[in-house]
Structure 1
Amino acid sequence: MEHFPERLKSARKMKGWSLQDLADGMANAVTKQALNKYEAGVMKPSGEVLLQLAKALEVPPAYFMRPSSIQLPAVEFRKKAALSAKHIESIKEKVKHFLERYLEVEALLNIKSAFHNPVRNIPVSQPADVDNVVEKIIAKWDLGYDAIPNVIEMLEDKGIRVMEIDAPDEFDGLSACVGNIPVVVLNNAYTVERKRFTALHELGHLLLNIQQGADKEKICHAFAGAMLLPGNCLETLIGKKRTNIAPGELVSIKEQFGISVQAIMMRALHKGIINKSAAVRFWQSMAKNKKESGLGAYPGKEKSYRFDHLVFRLAAEDIVSMSKAASLAGIKLAAFREKLDAFEE
């Protein structure tokens, strides 16, 4: 039970609960005062209480026994002011819990991967600098100029761990390097287009050598747009100079490339295809429809498959027990068996 106090606090924060919330979640079978003593390490729970805690906090009992192997560096939240302290702590703990499981799975399979940043030595001072950087990334990563079918899968292929979490609308995403492992975290509730853009925005934070004093967020926004519509792709689609762009044109590009119509217009502005006054008129017209309801959708999916594949491999090759594999997958044993044995009725 050496690690129990720390793990109990982590599991509670992951749920976004206070000590009283946890007591309430256990129908006050354990008091707030007792829970406080558990977290302080001055009192230990019985086996029965441990099981009740695991059920209330939706973690396997073994979670409380493992040492915490992940330390997150300082991470920046773009909309920190809109997120409560509980939400911020919950997001951090969810990231740590996922990474612990991911790295354990890779260790069990003896998988070692190294991440290489192909543009670390190129200074970036303003949004106009990103096109040159994107050209080098496309060449190094052999991405081509067509739409990226699955941005999340592409990132994982390049050695970046990607996770999606349930989070408030105020949370867009975050990125961090845990040791030498780059991590991108996305809001599971967002549209496909927003996930794609946010994933690449966070990639910008990981890759770009942004100079001191530069506007990081504007630069990373421009980077995401350039990754989704690289090079002269947009000029090929709509021309080099326009005074106006019809909504139908934007929707068509959105459906083909998986980028929002608002981000397309920003890209058009950066490329000098339209002027600022035309862009402002467009954004004013979109003011009441930021979520772009009724304006098409990218037909593809944004999903990470790698982690699931690795856990299935562990179970299929009997490297770990079925219950251990389910625990690593973060789902109940029955649900894991059903997913693994897809051919069985």
Structure 2
Amino acid sequence: MKNLFANRLKSARVRAALSQAQLVEKMKTKVSKNAISKYEKAEMMPDSNVLISLANALGVKTDYFFREFNVSIENIEFRKKRLGVKKVNAIKEEVIDIIERYLELEQFLNINSSFDNPISHLEIENRNDIEKAVNLLLQQWQVGYNALPNVIDLLEDKHIKVVEIDAPQEFDGFSGWADGKYPVIVLNENYGLERKRFTALHELGHLVMNINSEFEHKKIEKMCHQFAGAMLMPENTFAREFGGKRSGVSLNELIAIKEEYGISIQAIMARAKDFGFINDFQFRRFRIYISKNRKEEGLGEYVGKESAHRFKQLLHRAAAEEIISMSKAANLSNQKLAAFRKELKTV
């Protein structure tokens, strides 16, 4: 019991991005830093009053500290930009907690999430390999070559755990494997649709592409960018829409493509450069132009919906069928019981 509590306490503290001293301060010095240290070393257990104070300070329920379900996330590909170690670790711990609850819910429903990678046998060395891999993946997933209406829905349908978190702008997303077999993609819920779609598919590239492990990180990132662009607009589709080699490109047509396919203008032009449809000079000129408006404000907008909803759908199903109690459902969704009761509507 002490070891379980110790691990849970440290996990919750890291997730809250608090040092031991900061936790003591947030608890208004109800316990000492030395006591927190002993809790985390499994040398001591708190009394009930301190336990409640710990839960309140860390934003968890008291039973969180004694939940035995445990998940590890491995082979993490983390797209971080000046986030800092403390914030990176906090995000990892938050995602681990969400995935733990996700997998526990699936166990209650007797769901076996088995992921199949149709392109695992393909060795990816260059852009042509990526185009072939994407075409095969779309074919095996029976998606077709037109615009993808909802990327997150597609990924969740293929048994990929998609998690959206409230994160700072410096965080794009990451991917990894929970317990070595459950694919996980994490996205920043605060981003616009085009960026969210692209990031989700970039992370899918990390999960499914068999890229030469000797390639440097920067090259692998570029290949995952190319994979995302190819998923949003496969080779033949892109050639048809863009029209081949061009001496000039208008913003109007780029906006039209963006609004239909849910791909940013920057990704469209990068793809045109990869195919040789525009030359180096044209691409450099575009880069200079767009550098003043990276968010592409006023340059069209994809109208659609991209949000992870499978966890909530399963949760409502389990509660409606009384597979789990209302209090357990509230616990799994990290909500107060009254809030979950208000949310759940049955017929």
Scaled to the shorter chain, the TM-score interval is over 0.9
Secondary structure of the residue that 1:268 maps to in structure 2? helix
Measure the CA separation in 2 of the matches of 1:327 and 1:109.
16
Letter in 2 for 1:155: L
* Aligned residue number for residue 196 of structure 1: 197
* Aligned residue number for residue 271 of structure 1: 275
Measure the CA separation in 1 of the matches of 2:109 and 2:68.
20
* Aligned residue number for residue 17 of structure 1: 18
* Aligned residue number for residue 116 of structure 1: 116
1:285-324 equivalent positions in 2, closer than 5 A: 285-324=289-328
Secondary structure of the residue that 2:292 maps to in structure 1? coil
Instruction: State which drifts further: 287-296 or 132-141.
Output: 287-296
Task: Calculate the TM-score normalised by the size of structure 1.
Answer: 0.95
1:181-220 equivalent positions in 2, closer than 5 A: 181-214=182-215, 215-220=219-224
Whether the 8 Å contact between 1:145 and 1:231 is mirrored in structure 2 is no
> Shift in Å at residue 342 of structure 1?
7.4
Whether the 8 Å contact between 1:16 and 1:87 is mirrored in structure 2 is yes
Measure the CA separation in 2 of the matches of 1:144 and 1:76.
28
1:116-265 equivalent positions in 2, closer than 5 A: 116-178=116-178, 179-214=180-215, 215-265=219-269
* Aligned residue number for residue 27 of structure 1: 28
* Aligned residue number for residue 36 of structure 1: 37
Letter in 1 for 2:184: V
Letter in 1 for 2:315: V
Letter in 2 for 1:36: S
Instruction: State which drifts further: 149-158 or 164-173.
Output: 164-173
Letter in 2 for 1:168: P
Measure the CA separation in 2 of the matches of 1:162 and 1:52.
32
> Shift in Å at residue 74 of structure 1?
4.1
Measure the CA separation in 2 of the matches of 1:341 and 1:316.
8
Measure the CA separation in 2 of the matches of 1:169 and 1:38.
34
Task: Calculate the TM-score normalised by the size of structure 2.
Answer: 0.94
> Shift in Å at residue 68 of structure 1?
5.0
Secondary structure of the residue that 1:118 maps to in structure 2? coil
Measure the CA separation in 2 of the matches of 1:77 and 1:102.
21
Measure the CA separation in 1 of the matches of 2:312 and 2:331.
12
> Shift in Å at residue 72 of structure 1?
2.0
Secondary structure of the residue that 2:235 maps to in structure 1? coil
Whether the 8 Å contact between 1:127 and 1:218 is mirrored in structure 2 is no
Secondary structure of the residue that 2:73 maps to in structure 1? coil
Secondary structure of the residue that 1:69 maps to in structure 2? coil
Whether the 8 Å contact between 1:200 and 1:227 is mirrored in structure 2 is yes
Q: Percent of aligned positions with the same letter in both sequences?
A: 49
Structure 2: which 5+ runs fail to align?
Answer: none
Measure the CA separation in 2 of the matches of 1:187 and 1:288.
23
Q: CA RMSD in A?
A: 1.5
* Aligned residue number for residue 84 of structure 1: 84
Letter in 1 for 2:203: E
Structure 1: which 5+ runs fail to align?
Answer: none
Q: Deviations over 1:43-75 (max 9, x none)?
A: 211111111211221111111002251122242
Choose the corresponding residue for 1:335, options 334, 339, 344.
Answer: 339
**Is 1:281 aligned to 2:282, yes or no?**
no
Report the number of matched residues.
342
Whether the 8 Å contact between 1:134 and 1:223 is mirrored in structure 2 is yes
Measure the CA separation in 2 of the matches of 1:36 and 1:319.
39
Measure the CA separation in 2 of the matches of 1:272 and 1:332.
56
Measure the CA separation in 2 of the matches of 1:101 and 1:148.
29
Measure the CA separation in 1 of the matches of 2:83 and 2:339.
32
Secondary structure of the residue that 2:276 maps to in structure 1? coil
Measure the CA separation in 2 of the matches of 1:251 and 1:288.
17
> Shift in Å at residue 205 of structure 1?
0.6
Measure the CA separation in 1 of the matches of 2:63 and 2:236.
53
Letter in 2 for 1:101: R
Measure the CA separation in 2 of the matches of 1:288 and 1:110.
51
Whether the 8 Å contact between 1:127 and 1:219 is mirrored in structure 2 is yes
Secondary structure of the residue that 1:76 maps to in structure 2? strand
Q: Deviations over 1:18-54 (max 9, x none)?
A: 1122122222222322222211222211111111211
Measure the CA separation in 2 of the matches of 1:339 and 1:38.
36
Whether the 8 Å contact between 1:196 and 1:258 is mirrored in structure 2 is yes
Secondary structure of the residue that 1:78 maps to in structure 2? strand
Counterparts in 2 of 1:68 and 1:20: CA distance versus 1, 3 Å: farther
* Aligned residue number for residue 53 of structure 1: 54
Letter in 2 for 1:188: E
Letter in 2 for 1:169: Q
